[in-house]
Amino acid sequence: MNTLPITEADLHAFVDGKLPAARRLEVDAYLAQRPEEAERLRAYTAQNEELRALFNPVLDEAVPERLSAARPRQWQWQWQRLVAGLAIALFSGTTGWLLHGQQAGEIQYAQGDSMQARPALYVAGLVHQAAIAHVVYSPDVKRPVEIGADQEEQLVAWLSKRLGTAIRPPRLGKLGYELIGGRLLPGAQGAVAQFMYHDATGQRLTLYVSTDQAHNKDTGFRFAQEGPVNVFYWIDGKFGYALSAGINKAELARVATAVYDQLEKPS
């Protein structure tokens, strides 16, 4: 029988199942005469199998949102430009507002400039901070949150501890918004929490929760617009909530109502 000599490359192709059937038979015959070589190839075959056993489970893991939501550069760019523009608008708006507030404060509160005396300023502060936190973090592809929804228990325990009160992200799945995760942020008086959600199209919304609103009176739903970001906010006891997103007012109101309902019923 006239066959080409068996090469090392043939032996690897044999292990990897890349040989045509005829050549495979030739290698079989070759190995039958060489038990040591057969043993070596068995070890290589076992390596393949073990590597697959070790790493194939990764295929079944849920793909982290930051990978599947990575967008073409061009889209990101547009987002970044939008955010940059908004940040400037917010900054000038806030500066103007604060200057205005300061003057008003000098005039009206010259005798005792305290937070309690100027609730409107702090409610407005809550809205501004929530909107800024929304535009800063929601376009972030790589690290939108500090702790992801896959570790929700940890997220809840951590934020509750840092805010000094039990706090739990509302479930908005019925409205089409899934929790991405949350982060801790500095507020006017201390720690505040931000939870982030997204819908199937990647539209993100954030819920900003402050626990230092005791000086403010309770409010009903209020609506504010900060550039392209719409914000619904309300004060409830020491809690201040602000729900921000680039979605229309009616849709945001629907979500805000669901959030409010869930927070009313302690879990």
Partner 1 sequence: MPNSRDQLLACIPRLRRYARALIGDRAGADDLVQDTVERGWARLTSWEGGSDMRAWLFSIMHNLRIDQARRLSVPTEALNEETSMALAPGSPSSGLELRDMETTLRALPEEQREILLLVALEEMSYDDVAQTLKIPIGTVMSRLSRAREKMRANMEGRAYIAPLKVVK
**Nearer to partner 1 (CB atom), residue 37 or residue 236:** 37
59 scored as a contact of partner 1 (CB under 8 A):
yes
Query: Of residues 130-189, which lie at the interface with partner 1 (CB under 8 A)?
Result: 141-142
**Nearer to partner 1 (CB atom), residue 43 or residue 84:** 43
Residue among 3, 25, 28, 70 that touches partner 1 (CB under 8 A): 70
Q: Report, in Å, the least distance between residue 115 CB and partner 1.
A: 41
Residue 227 and residue 244 in contact, taking contact as beta carbons nearer than 8 Å: no
Q: How far apart are CA 97 and CA 197, in angstroms?
A: 30
Tell me, what DSSP letter sits at residue 6? P
Q: Is 149 exposed, middle or buried (0-12, 13-18, 19+ CB in 10 A)?
A: middle
Chain mean position to CA 243: 15
For 139-150, give the secondary structure using H, E and C: CCCCCCCCEEHH
67 scored as a contact of partner 1 (CB under 8 A):
yes
**Nearer to partner 1 (CB atom), residue 74 or residue 248:** 74
Closest Cα to residue 214, out of 180, 187, 175, 183? 187
Stretch that binds partner 1, among 64-72, 91-99, 130-138, 165-173 (CB under 8 A): 64-72
48 scored as a contact of partner 1 (CB under 8 A):
yes
∠108-114-116 over CA atoms, to 5°?
100
Residue among 1, 21, 32, 54 that touches partner 1 (CB under 8 A): 54
56 scored as a contact of partner 1 (CB under 8 A):
yes
**Nearer to partner 1 (CB atom), residue 22 or residue 55:** 55
Q: Report, in Å, the least distance between residue 71 CB and partner 1.
A: 7
Stretch that binds partner 1, among 14-22, 82-90, 101-109, 175-183 (CB under 8 A): 14-22
Q: How far apart are the first and last CA of the chain?
A: 80
